[in-house]
Amino acid sequence: MNSESLYQFSTLTVVLLLIAFYGGTYLMTLGIRKKNEDADAFMVSNHRVGFGIGAASMTATWIWAASFYAAATSGYTYGVSGPIHYGLWGALMILFIYPFGRRFRKLAPNAHTLGELIHARHGSSSQLILALSNVLGSVISLMVNFTAAGALVSVLSPLSFQAGVIIAGVGVLLYTLWSGFRASVLTDFAQLVALMAIAIVIIPAVFFAMGGPSELVAGLDNLSVEQTNFFSTDAILNQGAPFFVAVLAYAIGNQTISQRLFAVNEEHIKPTFLTATIGYGAIVIGLGMIGLMALTLGVEPLNGDMNNLIPQMVSGYLPPIFIALFFILVIGSLSSTADSDLSALSAIMMADVYGKNIARGRADPKRMLLVGRLTMIVATIIGIVFASFSLDILVMLVFVGALWGAIVFPVIASCFWNRVTNAAFTTSVLVAMVLFCAARFELISLAGPGGLFFELLACIGGGVIIGLMVFGFLGQAAGFIAGILTLVASLIFATGFLRDYTVLLASLTAYGASTLVCVVMSLASRQARFDFDTIGQRVGNYDLSPAKSDDQTTEGRPAGLAAQH
């Protein structure tokens, strides 16, 4: 089946669907509005989000517009193992922040961002590096989601791409602006329920409309040998391994996840993250199966654009009512991530930039709210403008991903090892970024000694990743042994081989270089060892209303001291 065009709704129908979705979410948030909103509720719901809403919000946030198209593209490109590689490693990004998240919450139970914890540990330079990476990541995510909305509207209706971008941007801002994070998690819950209900209907509907299991099995003859192999080397090296390397980078570097870590009730962290891991994996792997179905039938993406694959399958096999449900499905997924990005950006500007670096410990909660809301408005405008240009954001994504990979070891080590210094943190990240660029864009020839140098760093990076993952769940000794064994295995099997896969090589180089520099500089420093107990004293809530306990702190000072100043 190769359609020359996709089904299109009338302008009125699409406008009514968008009004129904965004109008409904806006009306939902009216019930939680406060006449006098406080800064802590705006950023993290006063750290009191429950298990159900927390898990739903985590899942909905992680399932964004790119999940639909990338999962299907993975199934279409790599065959039977493609959906697993995309969905499984994406799910692990949620899971692997959990063991480290427990440590973050223990050190700074009243934090709003991971940057606040790093500021208390090291100071402004390290904190601003982390904040900058999150700002870039969230702005790019906004652009991606608004771009997806514009593309969807332009494909399924007579409306223009720019009209779709503007409607999505204004719609998300409308229901998020007043209550911030509280509005985001509430609407995430409703959006996830709708997303799951629609996905459960649409995926089987497409599957059986194509002919069911028998047609799928018969179509396996259309696949190459690599595409039929569940353990395809091509799929592992080009998608599985790079995604696996990104697991910790996204878990540590993404403020939308960290924000929910600090917002969920501490006793609910474990079930929240486990549930979100399973929920994300199940939905996204299911979406990836649509791409595999298209591959088995020999479907060619319309106009050669892989992003048309899912709309093409839905449009070609299902009646208009299902296409309308699909439309809401994608709009809901991209909106749930976009509102999380707005909430994350506002928290970073409120706490990391204004609270810690401009107000310097004397933050005015009312002014913080103004900063947060202005941030949302400016971020939405920037997202709309850049999305409207349909810019190629691949290069920016590469840099953000590298920065997140470069900060993983310094951030985790700073929260467990009392010898890590601010200079070690900052220098290791900057050196890792430079070496990443040199490897990724082959600024230094990868043939001969140059390639071997980067492969050695990459082998260290591989050992660091496995070691940190095992350390998170099984402890220091097990993590150290796993890291050493991985390093040795990598040195034996990967040297002379990794240089052919520059994306994987460069990502591992960022991990290895940052770890090596951070460890060497920390061991060489004669600076006094850090007292982790001081972090909780330096990071606290901003509003001290009667509803909050008297022993909570504001900007690291007990309430009494804050009043005296």
**Mean pLDDT across the stretch 137-165?**
88
User: To 5 degrees, how large is the angle CA 17–CA 23–CA 29?
Assistant: 145
Q: Which two tokens stand for residue 72?
A: 């299907």
pLDDT at 142 over 60: yes
Strand partners, 558: 553
| pLDDT value at 347 more than 90 | yes
Report the pLDDT averaged over residues 250-269: 87
Q: Does residue 471 surpass a pLDDT of 90?
A: yes
pTM for the whole structure: 0.87
Alpha-carbon distance of 335 to 437, in angstroms, equals 32
Tokens standing for residue 83: 């959906």
The Cα 127–Cα 241 span in angstroms is 29
User: For position 544, what pLDDT does the model report?
Assistant: 60
> Is the dihedral angle over the CA atoms 59, 64, 69, 73 positive or is it negative?
negative
Are 312 and 293 in contact, with CB atoms under 8 Å apart?
no
For 557, residues 6+ apart whose C-beta sits below 8 A from its C-beta are 361, 540, 565
What three-state secondary structure class fits 541? strand
pLDDT greater at residue 565 or residue 92: 92
Share of the chain above pLDDT 90, in %: 45
pLDDT tier at 553, thresholds 50, 70, 90? very low
User: pLDDT band at residue 62, thresholds of 50, 70 and 90?
Assistant: confident
Query: pLDDT higher for 67 or 512?
Result: 512
- 3-state secondary structure string across 363-429: CCHHHHHHHHHHHHHHHHHHHHHHHHCCCCCHHHHHHHHHHHHHHHHHHHHHHHCCCCCHHHHHHHH
Q: What is the mean pLDDT of residues 512-524?
A: 97
Q: Decide if pLDDT at 170 tops 70.
A: yes
- pLDDT in the model for residue 31: 83
- State the pLDDT at residue 1: 46
Is the pLDDT at 17 greater than 90? The verdict is: yes
Q: Is the pLDDT of residue 21 over 90?
A: yes
- pLDDT above 70 (res 401): no
Q: What is the reported pLDDT for 114?
A: 93
d(CA 481, CA 461): 15
Ranges of each domain in the chain: 9-391, 416-532
Q: Kindly report the CA angle at 479 between 476 and 480, in degrees rounded to 5?
A: 85
* 440 closest CA partner among 394, 390, 496, 408: 394
CB 197 within 8 A of CB 360: no
Q: Please give the pLDDT value at position 557.
A: 38
Question: Is the separation of the CB atoms in 181 and 259 below 8 Å?
Answer: yes
- Confidence band for 238, pLDDT divided at 50, 70 and 90: confident
**C-alpha separations of 87 from 81, 239, 348, 564 in Å:** 10, 11, 28, 53
pLDDT at 565: 28
What CATH number belongs to 9-391? 1.20.1730.10
Would you say residue 391 has pLDDT above 70? Answer: no
Residue tagged 């082998």 (tokens): 459
Asked whether residue 564 carries a pLDDT value surpassing 50, the answer given is no
Is pLDDT above 50 for 267? yes
**DSSP 8-state secondary structure symbol assigned to residue 264:** B
At residue 217, the pLDDT reads: 81
User: What is the predicted pLDDT for the residue at 360?
Assistant: 80
Per-residue pLDDT, 398 = 56
Half-sphere exposure of 525 (CA within 13 A, CB side): 18
Q: Which candidate, 60, 416, 118, 100, places its Cα nearest to that of 248?
A: 100
Residue 352 has pLDDT above 60, yes or no: yes
- For 33, the token pair is 């509005």
- pLDDT given at position 396: 57
pLDDT attached to residue 25? 93
Residue whose entry in the numeric block shows the structure tokens 């639909």: 68
Residue pair 511/413 in contact (Cβ under 8 Å)? The answer is no
How many residues appear in the chain? Answer: 565
Residue 397 confidence (pLDDT) above 80: no
pLDDT given for residue 395 in this prediction = 54
Position 194 scores a pLDDT of 80
Mean pLDDT of all residues in the chain? 86
Q: Report the range of poorest mean pLDDT among 85-94, 129-138, 395-404, 536-545.
A: 395-404
Segment 405-409 shows an average pLDDT of: 92
Residue 548 pLDDT > 60: no
pLDDT in tens, 285-305: 888 888 888 898 888 887 777
